[in-house]
Structures are given as C-alpha cells and as structure tokens.
Amino acid sequence: MIEVCLLGSGGMMPLPDRRLTAMLFRYKGRLLLIDCGEGTQLPIKLAGWGFKAIEAILLTHYHGDHVAGLPGLLMTMGNSGREEPLTIIGPTYLYEVIKGLCVIVPKLPFEIRLIELPEEEINTINLGEIEISTLPLEHSMPCVAYCIELKRPPKFDVDRAISSRIPKKYWNRLQKGENIEYNDSLFTPEMVLGEKRKGIKVVYCTDSRPVEGLSDFAKESELLILEGMYGDNDMLSNAIEKQHMLFSEAAEIAKSSNSKELWLTHFSPSVKNPEEFLVNASSIFSNTFIGKELMFKTLNYED
C-alpha cells in the first residue's frame, strides 16, 4: 500500500488559493517528498504526516518554485529532533544547489547524503523496498521525471515447495530471493515461486515538453501525475517556447501509457480556473482529475 498526497498544484509562484507543486508519498510510515518550493512546509503540516519521517527528497530540477522552500524545511526537520541521515536526489548541479541553499542553515543535527543523477540517462535507485527510477526531460535546465514503484515478489507456490522437498524453514528466505544450500543441494527461488504479480507504480513529471520515452516510462502506472501548465490548446506556442505541456498533451501520454488515473498539476498563474479546461484532457483520457491542495489517494495491490 502506498499513500499519495498532492501538497500543491501551482507553477511559477504561489497564489492565495494555490500552493506550489509538491508531492508526498508514504509507505510503512516512511515518507518521500518530491520538490520543495517556497511554503511547502505548510501543506506538509496540514497533511499531518509529520516532518521527521521524511527519508528522502527528490528534486525534479532547480527552479525556485521547486527548491526555494528547502532551507526552511531542513531547519524544521532539525528542530523536530531528527538525527537520521537525509537523502536528497536530483539531476546535474545538485551539489552546487544544496551547498548554496544551506548557507542559511549551516548547522543541522543530521547528515545530508546527496545522489546526483548522471545526465541523459535513465537511473534506478533502491530505498529499501521502494524502487525509484528517473527519466531525463526537456526543460530549460536539467530536469527529471520520477517513477516510484513498490514491486511485488511472485506468489509462493506451496505445492512446488513440497514436491521439491524443501524444508519449510527455508521458504521465507527463498521467497525473498535467496539461494539456499542444503545437504549438497541448491534450492533457488525459481523452484518455489509462481507467476509475477503486479506491484504499485506512481509516476511524477513536471516542467517538460512531452519527450520520447515518457509513455514507456509511465507504462501501466496506477497513478500518473503530469504537469498541465496550460489548459487551452491555443496556448501550444507558449508551451513549446517555455518547455511545458498542455492538458491535452498530458492526456495523450496517460492514454498511450495505459495508465489508470491522471492528475494534472503545475498550473500557470494565468490559468485561474483549471476545471474550465478539463474537457481538453478528459475527452482524450476520461479518468483525468484536476490537482488540488492536499488531494489524497491510497493505492493497494490489485489482489
């Protein structure tokens, strides 16, 4: 089970009724935060999930509306009694950006561990049971999309384990992928595991034109969160110039990737009422929703 909370849906600048785009993921009490624009602390507090349990912060890129809230958040995490290391992941220039932002929070009671992603590569990072993949995007500075996936091991086949005469005390270890040597015999996971089972996949992408590979990256995701900078199709030239997406372009990606649900986010301040343009996306991909502050969803395994 993964819980997802959209902390804000705005791009470029916060508005009185629209905070900047950021997302929280919770799994077994552990939190991942994507992006941290100015004021992100407030919706985190309103969500009630706490600050101390944030295990990693995933930065898509380094425009101010995605990172300016980081120093204040780090200070709040330190004041909450955190001592465990914090991982921050981001594209090229991560070291320089964090060094600059931390000038105003020079002393923290916890270590910051940085993972800078190589340019123009698809990367995979494992944080415990959670697999994080990244895809380079097309924007005015290095920018990545994130895929957060909770993979599920194949179902354990009791009949196969019994017929192979594998002692029951080894079943759990085999299910977790270990090889077991026993009485000159080698037991492998393939001997006791059945068909693959679908896990849970969430993909998050803002600040980019549609790029080659994005549909495959998002393939069969349970939840796809994409930027919808502009709702009006007549704004295509603006979207191309500023390297953003239209609602309709996001919907095409959701459709071609066979995703289950699409949330639009990162709206331009000029888009006062995103619902007015929802039909431009829902006519292409019906299960589309306009992102709102503190929008929440629980994702479970299919079976």
The tokens of 285 are what?
A: 């991909």
The tokens of 111 are what?
A: 């270590």
Q: Order of strands, edge to edge, in the sheet holding 144-152?
A: 123-127, 130-136, 144-152, 197-205, 223-227, 262-265, 288-290
Query: 65, 157, 184, 232: which one is catalytic?
Result: 65
The helix/strand/coil state of 79 is helix
Distances 246 to 243, 266, 276 between C-alpha atoms, Å: 10, 11, 13
Count other Cβ atoms within 10 Å, centred on residue 184: 5
159 is catalytic: no
Name residue 176's amino acid.
K
Query: What's the CA angle centered on 283, arms 280 and 285, to 5 degrees?
Result: 105
Name residue 4's amino acid.
V
Q: Order of strands, edge to edge, in the sheet holding 86-90?
A: 112-116, 86-90, 54-58, 30-34, 22-27, 2-8, 295-299
Write out the catalytic residue numbers. Answer: 65
